[in-house]
Amino acid sequence: MIRYALSCDHDHAFEGWFGSSSDYDDQAARGLLECPLCGSKGVRKQIMAPAVAGTKAQKSAPAVDPKMREMMMTAMGEVRRQVEENFDYVGDRFAKEARDIHEGKSEERGIYGEASAKEVKALVEDGVKIAPLPPAAPKKTEVN
Ligand SMILES: [Zn+2]
């Protein structure tokens, strides 16, 4: 059995149990799904990973759902991709360049590169706006 978190077009949240994901698709296609609260047939899956029942108990630590994690990693990978495409790579000159831009000595633009922890600390202390670059998106083969 697969549990799906569903919601209707009135944003009522409820759960549905299905024999398989194709079971859900089948019922949805035939208009058999309706909101138990308002009877709306505008039912859709919430953006959430299905919980699979009957598998061995999860470890007690509040683990991040692997599907959620994958989505987050993909989103972060997208940010990284945008940065890599649109920002100037300055390598280990990052700290100097970021400071020069901050002080108006260098052309204002997006840059990325490497900096030591010490450099990062100094930049932050001086009010230079920097952020760690998210990791690259995992390759499909690395996920499961
Ligand atoms: Zn409803």
* Angstrom distance (rounded) from CA 88 to CA 109: 8
Q: Ligand 1 centroid vs 41 CA: distance in angstroms?
A: 8
Ligand 1 centroid, distance to 72 Cα (angstroms): 29
At 4 the pLDDT is: 87
* Per-residue pLDDT in tens (0 to 9) along the chain, 144 residues: 888 889 999 989 998 888 888 899 899 889 999 999 999 999 988 864 545 555 555 445 566 788 888 888 888 888 888 888 888 999 999 999 999 999 999 998 889 898 888 998 999 899 988 888 777 766 666 555
Q: Cα separation of 101 and 110, whole Å?
A: 9
pLDDT of residue 67: 85
Ligand 1 centroid to Cα of residue 9, in Å, is: 6
Distance 54 CA to ligand 1 centre (A): 28
Whole-prediction pTM value?
0.47
